[in-house]
Amino acid sequence: MATLQDITLAAALNILSAFIFFVAFAILRLQPFNDRVYFPKWYLKGLRTDPVTGGAFVRKFVNLDWRSYLRFLNWMPAALRMPEPELIDHAGLDSVVYLRIYLIGLKIFVPIAFLAWAVLVPVNWTSTGLEAGMSNITSSDIDKLSISNVHSRSQRFWAHIIVAYAFTFWTCFILLKEYEKVAAMRLQFLAAEKRRPDQFTGLNLYMSFRYEIYNHVYFWLIEKIVVYNANKLAKLVKKRKKLQNWRVYYQNKLERTSERPQIKTGCLGLCGDKVDAIDHHNTEIDKLSKEIALERDKVTNDPKSIMPAAFVSFKTRWGAAVCAQTQQTRNPTMWLTEWAPEPRDVYWSNLAIPYVSLTVRRLIIAVAFFFLTFFFMIPIAIVQSLASLEGIQKAAPWLKPLINIHIIKSFIQGFLPGIALKLFLIFLPTILMIMSKFEGFGSISSLERRAASRYYLFSFVNIFLGNILTGSAFEQLDSFIHQPANQYPITIGTAIPLKASFFITYIMVDGWAGIAAEVLMLKPLIIYHLKNFFLVKTEKDREEAMDAGSIGFNTGEPRIQLYILLGLVYAAVTPSVLPFIIVFFGLAYVVFRHQIINVYNQEYESGAAFWPDVHLRVVIALIVSQIVLMGLLTTKKAASSTPFLIALPILTIWFHIYCKGRFEPAFVRYPLQEAMMKDTLERATEPNLNLKAYLQNAYVHPVFKASIDDEDEEDANSQKWETESVTVPTKRQSRRNTPLPSRISGASSSPSLPDAIRQQPEP
């Protein structure tokens, strides 16, 4: 068990590393040549331009204004300054509501911490359970503040029980208020002034009949966009893009070295004939372009490539709302209607999976995820045994002399076994995303939501339970099956107070330092400068080299939930954990607010559709904390008071059911009244609106749009359209540069676009 000194030392170290990260960030972000790494959001919105215009040459790359370094932390208050409604305009509702999860953490834990320190810490501290009972175990100062210090059978446990009730009611109250607020924000956002294509559009899946039937059912139909199976086309376009990048790279090389670069055509460029790299790429790209034109022709003309899915747009929002919420035919697996996701949010390649295949895929993934969660240690253990000294000596005896070198030996012994696990954990979100994609969800947002639930389950089992109990996840599962049901909470409850100092360290390393590293954005920084050096020729290239990234709901949210779980579990057991969690939430809130304002560029906008998941997981954490407390009090033989806790999980479950009935419909349905009001308003204010033109190309597969860009080089119009739906002109300008007129602000009325699908572009 760690003593108070250990914890203090660890805290100091972590605070120091976080401080170093922040200083590095403060310096790097002020350098003009990093501007596109740390402020990409403003570039994407067209509100900031390269600081190249005027000034000395050095100033283009290095900031020589010493005064700006003095105020190196003032990005923090700046991040908090933008009001919420403006932030919604600036970054979308998803990001703002995502920030509210951090706020929830603060709202829940600040009062809980005060109460816990006011009531529980004195109660625990003045007890003498540790001295009396377990004198053989060395107890730390932190344990003196925890419930472990209370005597068995003590009447003092009543304090813990009453406080547990207070914690539950407070958490539920905050959850209720927040659900109310988020639901209202979502509905307001959906009904907001701005017209969006998905307000008018439903997605129809699994249709296996003639399309004429539509007009029979909906008389407000105005536009139907059939989904083509363009997966092969997308692949070809991607390949050409890659070749084009290489061509640019070789051309840049030619310019620098004045020597025509040559490559080998064989595998991986290692063998085969030597040819001129640029010529070779030119011919390859030409070949591919022809192939793409052919394929596009085929896709648009061959009836077989029409998938049984279509985006159906309506004259009114009301019509779309009705279509999305009702059943159309007898067999729901033959024709399913749902809300069309936002155009950016559509995950195209999953749109044509038939229903039976979908259910089979779900079964496969459920089984696979079970094995992933409980048995992932097995392949890692195998890799680790192979990567050990003996393993390598056995597998490759000829490496023996190399291994015996001291440095390599200690490297293998100390570092290699951990690498397999670290690599796995780094790739875990990707694995989970691939799983979700295989399951067949039709929008990126739902893919991320599903991956987030899986990630939460995984960390619950392998981080929370895995660190509390001994043995691998599978061994725990096995011992749980062989234990009586009433032993589960007791086993966990006994171990919980002992692990407090471990989790404090975990919070500091993973939470504090992790958040500070987030703001530094090391990976995008390096990649941007590499790209900038090798590829960038034009302004457009530089724009493409930026990697703004996004919030990463699928990894970020489960991580917050883990901290909420830890906070709620330790609130009544070891209140010393709470300050560390509060610092994490506070820091993370500021950092993510800054990132959302300046960096992240959300790929899609789901209108905070993830909130029911967030709510559910906090409720789960609450119930886990109650059960753990029950188990703990049972081991403390507080038999007279423990039964009073039984009501808590029941009430919490009931609270969840109530909230589900009350608020969840706002996230899965769309009220007709709102739609009708909005329609009426629009008809009154814009009687001559050409909605058909507006919706015409909203749901065209991106590959068709992209190919127009590349082919005809007249991307202005299309680009304009695309960015229009991405960016929102805000009142605010980027802070450091002079307010230039936005490249796209003012372009609010929808232009009539080149009729990409209907009129085939000439190859």
Main-chain phi, psi angles of 370, to 5 degrees: -60, -45
Amino acid at 219: F
Alpha helices in 116-212 (DSSP H): 121-125, 129-133, 141-145, 157-190
Separation CA 309–CA 228 (nearest Å): 8
Nearer to a second copy, 671 or 761 (CB): 671
Nearer to a second copy, 86 or 664 (CB): 664
222 three-class SS? strand
* 439-459 core/surface letters (b: 16 or more CB in 10 A; e: else): bbbbbbbbbbbbbbbbbbbbb
- Helices 611-635, 487-498: inter-axial angle, 10-degree rounding: 90
Strands, DSSP E only, in 493-622?
A: none
Does residue 676 touch a second copy according to CB under 8 A?
A: yes
CB under 8 A: which stretch of 55-63, 182-190, 512-520, 627-635 binds a second copy?
A: 182-190
Do the Cβ atoms of 439 and 365 come closer than 8 Å? yes
Nearer to a second copy, 674 or 715 (CB): 674
**C-beta of 359: minimal distance to a second copy in Å?**
5
Nearer to a second copy, 39 or 663 (CB): 663
**C-beta of 668: minimal distance to a second copy in Å?**
9
Does residue 650 touch a second copy according to CB under 8 A?
A: yes
Near a second copy by CB under 8 A: residue from 673, 690, 738, 748 = 673
**C-beta of 486: minimal distance to a second copy in Å?**
5
Q: How far is CA 698 from CA 269, 478, 750, in A?
A: 41, 52, 11
CB under 8 A: which stretch of 21-29, 351-359, 432-440, 460-468 binds a second copy?
A: 351-359
Does residue 672 touch a second copy according to CB under 8 A?
A: yes
Near a second copy by CB under 8 A: residue from 126, 208, 283, 359 = 359
Does residue 637 touch a second copy according to CB under 8 A?
A: no
**C-beta of 671: minimal distance to a second copy in Å?**
5
264 three-class SS? strand
Near a second copy by CB under 8 A: residue from 158, 355, 438, 506 = 355
Near a second copy by CB under 8 A: residue from 276, 284, 338, 674 = 674
**C-beta of 160: minimal distance to a second copy in Å?**
23
Query: Which of the 8 DSSP states describes residue 763?
Result: -
Give the distance, in angstroms, between the CA of residue 220 and the centroid of all CA atoms in the same chain.
37
Phi-psi domain of 441 (left: phi exceeds 0; alpha: psi -120 through 50; beta: other): beta
DSSP, residue by residue, 647-705: HHHHHHHHHHHHHHHHHTHHHH---HHHHHHHHHHHHHH-TT--HHHHHHTTT--HHHH
Within residues 211-250, the interface with a second copy by CB under 8 A covers 213, 216-217
310 three-class SS? strand
**C-beta of 38: minimal distance to a second copy in Å?**
39
**C-beta of 214: minimal distance to a second copy in Å?**
10
Nearer to a second copy, 83 or 661 (CB): 661
Near a second copy by CB under 8 A: residue from 69, 211, 411, 658 = 658
Separation CA 710–CA 536 (nearest Å): 17
CB under 8 A: which stretch of 357-365, 402-410, 583-591, 734-742 binds a second copy?
A: 357-365
Separation CA 556–CA 406 (nearest Å): 40
- Length of the chain (residues): 763
Near a second copy by CB under 8 A: residue from 333, 384, 719, 745 = 333
**C-beta of 481: minimal distance to a second copy in Å?**
5
CB under 8 A: which stretch of 87-95, 179-187, 276-284, 345-353 binds a second copy?
A: 179-187
Does residue 368 touch a second copy according to CB under 8 A?
A: no
What x/- string results for residues 96 through 135 when contact with a second copy is judged by CB under 8 A?
A: ----------------------------------------
Separation CA 724–CA 83 (nearest Å): 23
CB under 8 A: which stretch of 85-93, 514-522, 617-625, 660-668 binds a second copy?
A: 660-668
Nearer to a second copy, 304 or 482 (CB): 482
Do the Cβ atoms of 492 and 469 come closer than 8 Å? yes
Point out which residues pair with 262 in neighbouring strands. 276
- Helices 157-190, 553-571: inter-axial angle, 10-degree rounding: 150
Does residue 413 touch a second copy according to CB under 8 A?
A: no
**C-beta of 508: minimal distance to a second copy in Å?**
36
Separation CA 722–CA 58 (nearest Å): 36
Near a second copy by CB under 8 A: residue from 187, 509, 616, 693 = 187
The site that binds a second copy (CB under 8 A) totals a number of residues, namely 47
Residues 6+ away with beta carbon under 8 Å from 757:
225, 300, 697, 700, 704
**C-beta of 381: minimal distance to a second copy in Å?**
22
Near a second copy by CB under 8 A: residue from 16, 657, 681, 740 = 657
- Number of other residues whose CB lies within 10 A of the CB of residue 108: 26
Near a second copy by CB under 8 A: residue from 194, 409, 662, 692 = 662
CB under 8 A: which stretch of 68-76, 91-99, 299-307, 359-367 binds a second copy?
A: 359-367
Does residue 363 touch a second copy according to CB under 8 A?
A: yes
Nearer to a second copy, 533 or 658 (CB): 658
CB under 8 A: which stretch of 258-266, 396-404, 432-440, 670-678 binds a second copy?
A: 670-678
Does residue 208 touch a second copy according to CB under 8 A?
A: no
Near a second copy by CB under 8 A: residue from 304, 330, 731, 758 = 330
Separation CA 88–CA 607 (nearest Å): 10
Near a second copy by CB under 8 A: residue from 17, 252, 329, 349 = 329
3-state secondary structure 410-478: HHHHHCHHHHHHHHHHHHHHHHHHHHHHHHCCCEHHHHHHHHHHHHHHHHHHHHHHHHHCCCCHHHHHH
What x/- string results for residues 454 through 493 when contact with a second copy is judged by CB under 8 A?
A: --------------------------xxxxxxxx------
CB under 8 A: which stretch of 329-337, 392-400, 718-726, 737-745 binds a second copy?
A: 329-337
Does residue 338 touch a second copy according to CB under 8 A?
A: no
Give the distance, in angstroms, between the CA of residue 291 and the centroid of all CA atoms in the same chain.
36
Do the Cβ atoms of 762 and 714 come closer than 8 Å? no
Separation CA 340–CA 202 (nearest Å): 5
CB under 8 A: which stretch of 293-301, 358-366, 630-638, 746-754 binds a second copy?
A: 358-366
Q: Which among 306, 313, 307, 309 has a CA at the least distance from the CA of 202?
A: 313
Do the Cβ atoms of 251 and 314 come closer than 8 Å? no
**C-beta of 323: minimal distance to a second copy in Å?**
9
**C-beta of 72: minimal distance to a second copy in Å?**
45
Strands 306-314 and 336-339: unpaired
Tokens of 660: 């589900």
Q: Which among 79, 97, 87 has a CA at the least distance from the CA of 730?
A: 87
CB under 8 A: which stretch of 49-57, 594-602, 657-665, 699-707 binds a second copy?
A: 657-665
Residue ranges that bind a second copy, judged by CB under 8 A = 183-184, 187, 213, 216-217, 321-322, 325-333, 355-356, 359, 362-363, 367, 480-487, 650, 654, 657-658, 661-662, 665-666, 669-674, 676-677
